[in-house]
Each structure stands twice: as structure tokens, then as C-alpha cells.
Amino acid sequence: MTTAFGIEYFTLLSDDGWMDMPLDIMPSYLWADGGLLADAPVDFAATFGGNMQLCTKVDPTFNLNGLRCVPNFAVPRHHHNLDELIIVFKGEFHVAWGENGEEGSRTIGPGEFWISTAGTPYLMTAGPEGVTYIETWPSPMAELETYWHDAGWVHR
């Protein structure tokens, strides 16, 4: 990371500034069938542990998360209460949207982006090289709710 004249520079493509995704279940993670994700029949730690990293250099107060997924990891089907913009920097994601992926699918590569409309469930699967991306929302992350569906989880 380089700092000059009050501007901080870093690249999401370096290996500096990454940590394993915290495995605490946030209170804003809800089960799509009702209730909290913590009470659902899925194992959050077994699903995400070792499969996803969070960039410590991206300031979430700007409604941004820098994330990485290992090759072929499927982020379980979910939807948000807010629209979401995802920009891929390295690797690729295959995205299937709709309740069971029936509405459409697309592969998103470096320099490409996609927007998930609030309420639209989607499942993202990292490509064979993994994926590095940033996600952002139009409102503060304190207002974000994530509703998780059954597809893609390690079950208890």
C-alpha cells in the first residue's frame, strides 16, 4: 500500500491485506423460510470456512466489501433487501438467478460487473481460478439484510 498526499493506494490483486472471512453469523443474516440464519439447518462455518477471504484494506463505511473465493466455491443462494453491484477484478463468477436459477445465468469475468435487484435470489460459483471482487450497495451496510436459501450449504 502506498500513501501520498492523503490518498491511499492498494490493489485487490496483491496478497497483502486479506484475512479469512469471519465466521460469526451476523444478525442481519436471515433464513429465507423465516427466522435467523443461526437457527437454520445449515453450518455457516463449514460452508464458508477456508473458502472466502475479506480484504482488510477496503473501508466498509463506504458500503464496500472486497472479497475473494477459492476455486469452484459456491456462495449459497441468497438475496438482499437492497440492490447490489458486484465488480470482478480477477477470475470469474458464474451467477444463476431466480429461485432455482431458472430465470437466467451468466459468467462474469475481470472488468465486468452485474447488479442483483433487491429480492432476486442468486447463487454465485467461483471459476477454476477463484474470484476476487468487490460488492457495494446504494445504502449504508447497516440497512442491509441477507436472506439465505437452501442451495449451496453444508447442512448440519
Band of residue 62 on the pLDDT scale cut at 50, 70, 90: confident
88-109 tens-digit pLDDT: 999 999 999 987 778 899 999 9
**Residue 59 and residue 3: Cα distance in Å, rounded?**
15
Band of residue 5 on the pLDDT scale cut at 50, 70, 90: low
Phi, psi of 44 (to 5 degrees): -60, -50
In words, the CATH class of domain 13-148 is: mainly beta
Q: Is the pLDDT of residue 148 over 80?
A: yes
pLDDT value at position 81?
A: 97
**Residue 6 and residue 57: Cα distance in Å, rounded?**
15
**Nearest by Cα to 74 from 144, 137, 154:** 154
**79, 119 contact by CB (below 8 A):** yes
